[in-house]
């Protein structure tokens, strides 16, 4: 019988990475410039590995290939085996990332051969004065946007947002964005690694070379509609006894909630889909029919569809994500 699969992440070391994954979550990161922890990943550029139980050492892809519908669910099944639908990361930005945009499914399939990328961010930590970029200022036209890219003045057109711990952002494909310096972010996204870099703050490397930009593709897919004042997601908080459940985002690709569990939160799993869990505060255990699996903040789990109902024991705060089924 399948059980809660605790996953070891895949680490990425971009130039803007840091060391807060170690400082805050105690992760065994490879360097002090570790920028991404792919917590729950089944992608050709990185796949998580099971770290507990009889399946320890198997990749998430191997588990899915072996167990199929029992792992993924009756409503996800064969399509999910072809392409796992979601990717969950933690991003540590010690420097600001480039301004970028992601395509929708149709454009991504035609030009990149993979899924588009709609995503969301939950801010886990923010240094004083931290900001991010979300879209463009009101009134920016296609001509102004293109001129700003070509002349290296796009910064003047960007919509900067002040950020604090706990803020949530939903970023549909086509939304221009950039994570700013000093942010630690949980990212839930479509299972895609396609990014079009639009602007890199006119930075150059030690040899005076700029990073590659993807200007025409960015012009093709960027949505210029402004959303000033509406960038942050408030969610809907529901009291469940001593616990709270905050429904943050519900789109066609994923549904995401934050659970604040005092003692126990009972979760229903009827075999149609899997759950993804990431503990971001506290510690506790996942209790299921065959036993319990303990966790600490920073641990992430794949909960197989066929496992049945389970409980989250706290006190803890958990990000729960799943694919909508009908």
Q: Report whether 98 contacts 199 (CB < 8 A).
A: yes
Of 207, 193, 191, 313, the C-alpha closest to 264 is: 313
Structure tokens of 278? 């990431």
Of 139-143, 149-153, 203-207, 278-282, least confident by mean pLDDT is 203-207
Confidence category of residue 203, pLDDT binned at 50, 70, 90: confident
Q: What angle do CA 123, 129, 134 make, to 5 degrees?
A: 55
Of 193-202, 214-223, 227-236, 269-278, least confident by mean pLDDT is 227-236
Is residue 106 within a helix (H) or strand (E), and if so which, with residue range? Answer: helix 105-112
Reply yes or no on whether 245 is catalytic. no
* Mean pLDDT over the full length of the chain: 95
Convert the pLDDT of each residue in 80-107 to its tens digit: 889 999 999 999 999 999 999 999 999 9
Q: Report whether 241 contacts 287 (CB < 8 A).
A: no
Convert the pLDDT of each residue in 139-149 to its tens digit: 999 999 999 99
Q: Report whether 288 contacts 259 (CB < 8 A).
A: no
Residue 206 reports pLDDT greater than 80:
no
Q: Report whether 63 contacts 162 (CB < 8 A).
A: no
Convert the pLDDT of each residue in 21-70 to its tens digit: 999 999 999 999 999 999 999 999 999 999 999 999 999 999 999 999 99
Residue 320 reports pLDDT greater than 80:
yes
Distance between CA atoms of 249 and 264, rounded to whole angstroms?
Answer: 23
Structure tokens of 138? 């009101």
Q: What share of the chain is helix, strand, coil (3-state, %, to 5)?
A: 15, 40, 45
What does the pLDDT read at residue 226? Answer: 73
Rounded percentage of the chain residues whose pLDDT exceeds 90: 90
Per the listing, tokens 């600001």 go with 96
Q: Report whether 5 contacts 301 (CB < 8 A).
A: yes
Radius of gyration over every alpha carbon of the chain, rounded to an integer in angstroms: 20
Spot the catalytic one: 197, 203, 211, 273: 197
Superfamily (CATH H level) for 5-221: Jelly Rolls (2.60.120.10)
Distance between CA atoms of 8 and 10, rounded to whole angstroms?
Answer: 7
Structure tokens of 137? 């200022």
Confidence category of residue 227, pLDDT binned at 50, 70, 90: confident
What does the pLDDT read at residue 209? Answer: 78
Torsion of CA 21, 25, 30, 36, to 10 degrees: -40
What does the pLDDT read at residue 207? Answer: 74
Of 61, 125, 58, the C-alpha closest to 87 is: 61
Per the listing, tokens 């420097």 go with 95
- Name the CATH architecture for the domain at 236-322: Sandwich (2.60)
What does the pLDDT read at residue 81? Answer: 86
111: how many CB neighbours lie within 10 A of its CB? 14
Region 299-310: mean pLDDT is: 98
Convert the pLDDT of each residue in 119-167 to its tens digit: 999 999 999 999 999 999 999 999 999 999 989 899 999 999 999 999 9
DSSP 154: G
Same fold, 5-221 and 236-322: yes
What does the pLDDT read at residue 176? Answer: 96
Top pLDDT among 1 and 324 is at: 324
Collapsing DSSP states into helix, strand and coil, what is residue 180?
coil
Top pLDDT among 229 and 177 is at: 177
Backbone angles phi, psi at 238, to 5 degrees: -120, 130
Of 77, 39, 65, 26, the C-alpha closest to 274 is: 77
Whether cis (ω within 30° of 0) applies to the bond prior to 155 is no
| Segments making up each domain of the chain, as ranges | 5-221, 236-322
Name the pTM for this structure: 0.96
How far from the centroid of its chain's Cα atoms is residue 48's Cα? Answer: 14
Q: Report whether 224 contacts 140 (CB < 8 A).
A: yes
């Amino acid at each position: 019988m399948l059980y809660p699969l605790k996953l070891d992440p895949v680490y990425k070391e971009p130039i803007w990475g840091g060391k807060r994954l170690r400082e805050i979550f105690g992760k065994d990161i490879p360097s002090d410039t570790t920028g991404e922890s792919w917590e729950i990943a089944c992608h050709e550029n990185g796949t998580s590995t099971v770290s507990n139980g009889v399946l320890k050492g198997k990749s998430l892809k191997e588990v899915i290939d072996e167990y199929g519908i029992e792992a993924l669910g009756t409503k996800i099944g064969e399509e999910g085996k072809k392409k796992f639908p979601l990717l969950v990361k933690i991003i540590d930005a010690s420097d600001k990332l480039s301004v970028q945009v992601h395509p929708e499914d149709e454009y991504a399939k035609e030009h990149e051969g993979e899924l588009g990328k709609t995503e969301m961010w939950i801010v886990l930590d923010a240094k004083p004065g931290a900001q991010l970029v979300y879209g463009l200022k009101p009134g920016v036209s296609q001509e102004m946007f293109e001129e700003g890219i070509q002349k290296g003045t796009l910064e003047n057109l960007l919509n900067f947002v002040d950020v604090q711990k706990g803020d949530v952002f939903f970023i549909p494909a086509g939304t221009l964005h950039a994570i700013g310096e000093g942010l630690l972010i949980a990212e839930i996204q479509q299972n895609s690694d396609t990014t079009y870099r639009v602007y890199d703050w006119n930075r150059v490397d030690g040899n005076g070379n700029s990073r590659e930009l993807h200007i025409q593709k960015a012009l093709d897919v960027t949505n210029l509609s402004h959303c000033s004042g509406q960038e942050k997601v408030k969610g809907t908080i529901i009291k469940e006894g001593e616990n709270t459940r905050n429904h943050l985002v519900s789109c066609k690709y994923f549904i995401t909630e934050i659970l604040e569990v005092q003692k126990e939160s009972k979760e229903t799993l009827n075999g149609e889909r899997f759950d993804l869990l990431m503990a971001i505060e506290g510690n506790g255990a996942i209790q299921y029919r065959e036993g319990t699996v303990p966790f600490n903040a920073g641990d992430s789990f794949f909960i197989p569809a066929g496992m049945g109902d389970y409980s989250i024991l706290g006190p803890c705060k958990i990000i729960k994500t799943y694919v909508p089924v009908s």
